[in-house]
Structure 1
Amino acid sequence: MIAEIITIGDEILIGQIVDSNSAFIAKELNLIGISVYQITSVQDDKDHILTALKEASERADVVILTGGLGPTKDDVTKYTFTEYFDDKLVLNEAVLKHVEELFEKYKKTPISDLNREQAMVPSKAKVLHNKNGTAPGMWMEQGKKVFISLPGVPYEMKALMEEEVIPGLQEKYDRPFIYHKTILTSGEGESAIANRLAGFEDELPSHIKLAYLPGLGRVRLRLSGKGEDEEELIKSVEKQVEGLYELLGDIISEEQEEDEKIAVQISKLLTERKLFLSAAESCTGGALSAAFTTHPGASSCFKGGLVSYATQAKQEILHVPKELIEKYSVVSAEVAEAMAKNAKKMFKTDYALSTTGNAGPTKGDSDAEVGTVFVGLATPEKTYSKKFIFGNSRDHVVKQSVQKAFEMILKEITSEDRS
């Protein structure tokens, strides 16, 4: 089963927004055995959309469009969709009633003719109820192929995918099973790992593929298999995982659920153990706390964070001794450890992370070179820190600091399982 995704909107092509919809749709399709072979972005232009539909229909079994379904005049997807299938628009009473109810409940203003237009749908389409918005999804079939048009608003699209599209595709098609296994490594780069795995890759069965996914300080290795028998597929992929351990056991840090973020792993482990984390940040400016609390469930293990950006804040709020800063500098192991230790005490947590460094472009309150960062960690038994040099890109320094902080606490938590 092959799918293609077409995202529609000038805002994507000019870089005003990031196309997160395609990533979500592709992941959901993959989970039910449908492989996405191409993603195309086009303008809100009839000719461009028609061309994209025609080309996608020649390659794919399932074509999903997202975007261009709003009430404004530049949203042309519905009309183009109708023209492609040589259809006409008709009033759908259920959609009109839903739009009117939304306006009555949330807008408190009379419904406009433009909003009533949302209830006009192609006569041949199966309407997908959009409980979160006024633009319905549309499902059209042409022979054995399915064409689906979804609104571009992410939360509207996601609900339709989960509640309408995925169940509909599962009912319509027999699909192969797809199984992924992701192994995390640290300590070696992508090219070095590829050299070690050259023979391994040559001997992989044809239904299993290996992908390298380099990230900040780590390389993920993803084995992906596709087959008709789920049990046999899982066995064959797991056998290859054993081969990875034989070849890379010295640098494998853990196995990971597909696309699971390190912050989510930490959150799960802390929650399971009924432990709590806090943070004291300087050079990361709140990025560490933000990265952790972005994910649902963080409140069960994260008590809070403090951004003590200025030296004065470190002294007056975190109670880092002035003498310590004067002796060792604000960017130092000693200050990082004091920050972590005092944050742990202030928030009454089991663990606390701290960051202090020079993210650039100037040195600030320290003579340490730009890119120098100290990450501190206070645990129930000890407090320590590590020094890193991340270069002179401010954004890179912040991201690497957060990543290394997470790696430090993850290693600390999981070491309890190995002891």
Structure 2
Amino acid sequence: MKATIVTIGDEILIGQIIDTNSGFIAKSLDKIGIQITEMLSISDDKKQILDTFLSLQNKVDLVVITGGLGPTKDDITKHTFCEYFDDKLIQNDEVLDHVTALIEGIFNRPITQMNKDQALVPSKCHVLFNKVGTAPGMWMKKENTVFISLPGVPYEMKYLVENEILPKVVREYKRPYILHKTILTYGQGESLVAERIEDWENNLPEFIKLAYLPAPGRVRLRLSARGTNKEILEKAIDENVISLTKIIGDIIVGFDEDETIEVVLGRLLTQQGKTISTAESCTGGKIAQVFASVSGASSYFVGSVVSYATETKVSVLGVSQQAIDAFSVVSSQVATQMALGVQKLMKTDYAIATTGNAGPLKGDADATIGTVFIALATPSGVIVEEFNFGQPREKVIDRAVNKAFEMIQKEILKNL
């Protein structure tokens, strides 16, 4: 089966909001064996919507549309559906009861006519009941293509995808299996990783495809297998992951989308009963943010000091003014004192510290722009390294964050 995802909204086209719905829908459909051929964003214009529908008719099996289902006049998706399917809007009593209970019972205000109009749906559509919002979804088929309309509000869209669309597609359509396995590597660039695994890649079965997903300081390798026999696909994926691990096991830190390095580190720290804290200057709290993004991080991540200003390094972390005067605020000596300072302040087993010139201006330091010192305080001492991550500023920060996690992981693994 093939599908196209269409987002409707001028706010997306002018960059006022970022389309996150398409990624969620694509990932959800891919898991049940539906191939996404295209993602489109179009304006809130009836002709544009109709032309898009016509161009996709019989070209794909599913067209999933988000947006344009609100109660205001600029939301025209339902009316456009009626025109395309030669239909008319009728009141759905179940939806009206739900909208009334939501507005009057939970929001505690009188229901308006505009709210009631949310219960109007095309008479020929299969209603996708939206228990978490007021706008129902719509499922309508014309010839060989199903058109599915969903609200643009992300949590409402997600509810309908998970509870209405996926179960219905699984029940009614026969689909191939599409399996993915993601291998997360740290510390080597895309070209070097590709060189190391070239022979392995050349010998992959035809039904397994490899994709490189690079980011500063890390590369994700995604294996994708497509076929009708799930057991054969799983076995082939597992065998090739094992053989890959023998080649680049030194830089593999995790598997699958959720097995990021911060998740791996959290598990390692928890298993060892150890804690960690951060002292960040040039990274501005981003290491702490990534740590805290993992559920349950409070059991090992104690806290952070974002000592962006020089005086904060001195007054909060106890960095000596003499070290700053002698070696500059961007130096191994200052990074070391920052790590030791936050380790003492937070009473943690490990502490990571960053100081550097991310650019575009030098600030209080004389070091070359792109220079970053990262210090890791451990129970037995301090490890400090110097890097130059170049430019632009965003690249320097991202690479510093990734390198910090890599340093932490390598040190913790020594103690296993």
The answer to whether the superposition gives a TM-score over 0.5 is yes
- 1:316-331 matches, cutoff 5 A: 316-331=315-330
Give the whole-Å Cα distance in 2 for the aligned partners of 1:58 and 1:197: 41
Quote the offset at 1:46 in angstroms.
1.3
C-alpha change, 1:297 and 1:52, in structure 2 (3 Å) is farther
Q: Structure 2 CA distance, aligned partners of 1:296 and 1:140?
A: 39
Give the letter aligned to residue 333 of structure 2.
E
Please report how far the alpha carbon of residue 82 of structure 1 lies from its aligned counterpart in structure 2 after TM superposition: 2.4
Count of equivalent residues: 416
Partner of 2:92: 92
Match of 2:60 in 1: 60
Letter in structure 1 aligned against 2:13: L
User: Which residue of structure 2 lines up, in the alignment, with residue 226 of structure 1?
Assistant: 226
Question: How far is 1:194 from its partner?
Answer: 3.9
Deviates more, 1:48-57 or 1:303-312: 48-57
1:357-387 residue CA offsets vs partner (Å, 9 max, x unmatched): 1122221111112211112222233321221
2:266 and 2:55 map into 1 onto residues whose CA distance is 44
Counterpart position of 1:27: 27
Distance 2:290 2:376 in 1: 17
Would you say the 8 A contact 1:180–1:258 is kept in 2?
no
One-letter code aligned to 2:282: C
Q: 3-state DSSP class of the match of 1:334?
A: helix
| Counterpart-to-counterpart distance in 2, 1:236 and 1:13 | 42
- Distance in 1 of aligned mates of 2:271 and 2:11: 42
Letter aligned with residue 167 of structure 2: P
* Percent identity of equivalent pairs: 53
- Separation in 2, partners of 1:379, 1:101: 57
* 8 Å contact from structure 2 (residues 253, 260) kept in 1: no
Contact 1:70–1:135 (8 Å) recurs in 2: yes
Residues of 1 paired with 2:300 and 2:35: CA distance?
37
> What residue identity is the alignment partner of 1:369?
T
Q: After the TM superposition, which of the residue ranges 344-353 and 291-300 deviates more from structure 2? A: 291-300
Indicate yes or no: 2:291 matched with 1:289.
no
C-alpha contact 2:68 2:74 (8 A) present in aligned 1: yes
Q: In structure 2, do the counterparts of structure 1 residues 187 and 339 end up closer, same or farther at CA, with 3 Å as the change threshold?
A: closer
Alpha-carbon spacing, 1:106–1:205, altered in 2? closer, same or farther (3 Å): same
State the superposition RMSD in angstroms.
Answer: 2.2
Mapping 1:11-410, distance limit 5 Å:
11-143=11-143, 145-186=145-186, 188-195=188-195, 197=197, 200-245=200-245, 248-249=247-248, 252-258=251-257, 260-410=259-409
Contact 2:179 2:226 in 1 (8 A): yes
Pair 3,256 (structure 1): closer, same or farther in 2 beyond 3 Å: same
SS at match of 2:146: strand
Structure 1 spans left out of the alignment, 5+ residues: none
Q: CA deviation at 1:144?
A: 5.4
Counterparts of 2:401 and 2:123, CA distance in 1: 52
Query: Amino acid of the residue matched to residue 122 of structure 1?
Result: P
| Paired AA for residue 409 in structure 2 | L
Give, in whole Å, the separation in 2 of the partners of 1:284 and 1:59. 47
Structure 1 residues 188 and 279, CA gap change in structure 2 (3 angstroms): closer
Q: Which residue pairs with 2:4 in the alignment?
A: 4
- The secondary structure found in structure 2 opposite 1:139 is strand
Task: Give the Å deviation of 1:5.
Answer: 0.7
CA distance in 2, matches of 1:350, 1:276: 5
The residue identity in structure 2 corresponding to 1:133 is: G
TM-score, structure 1 length as denominator? Answer: 0.92
**Alpha-carbon distance in structure 2 between the residues aligned to 1:45 and 1:295:** 41
- Give CA deviations for 1:206-253 in whole Å, capped at 9, x if unaligned: 21111111111222221110122211111112233344346x437642
Distance 1:187 1:287 in 2: 18
Distance verdict in 2 for CA 1:306–1:391, change over 3 Å? same
Match of 1:349, SS? coil
Amino acid at match of 1:356: T
SS at match of 1:342: helix
- 8 Å contact 2:254–2:260 — kept in the other structure? no
Q: Partners in 2 of 1:404 and 1:110 — Cα distance?
A: 56
- Deviation at residue 313 of structure 1 after TM alignment: 0.9
Q: In the TM superposition, what is the alpha-carbon distance from 1:118 to its structure 2 partner?
A: 1.0
Question: How far is 1:416 from its partner?
Answer: 3.5
Secondary structure of 2:15's partner? coil
Deviates most, 328-337 or 237-246: 237-246
Distance 1:268 1:78 in 2: 48
Q: Deviations over 1:3-36 (max 9, x none)?
A: 2111111111111222111111111111122221
Distance 1:404 1:25 in 2: 32
C-alpha change, 1:78 and 1:292, in structure 2 (3 Å) is farther
**Residue 184 of structure 2 contacts residue 260 of structure 2 at CA under 8 Å; is this kept in 1?**
no
Shift of residue 347, structure 1, vs aligned partner: 1.9
1:275–1:350 CA contact under 8 A, matched in 2: yes
One-letter code aligned to 1:156: E
CA contact 1:358–1:368 (8 Å) conserved in 2: yes
Name the CA distance, whole Å, in 2 between partners of 1:56 and 1:270: 51
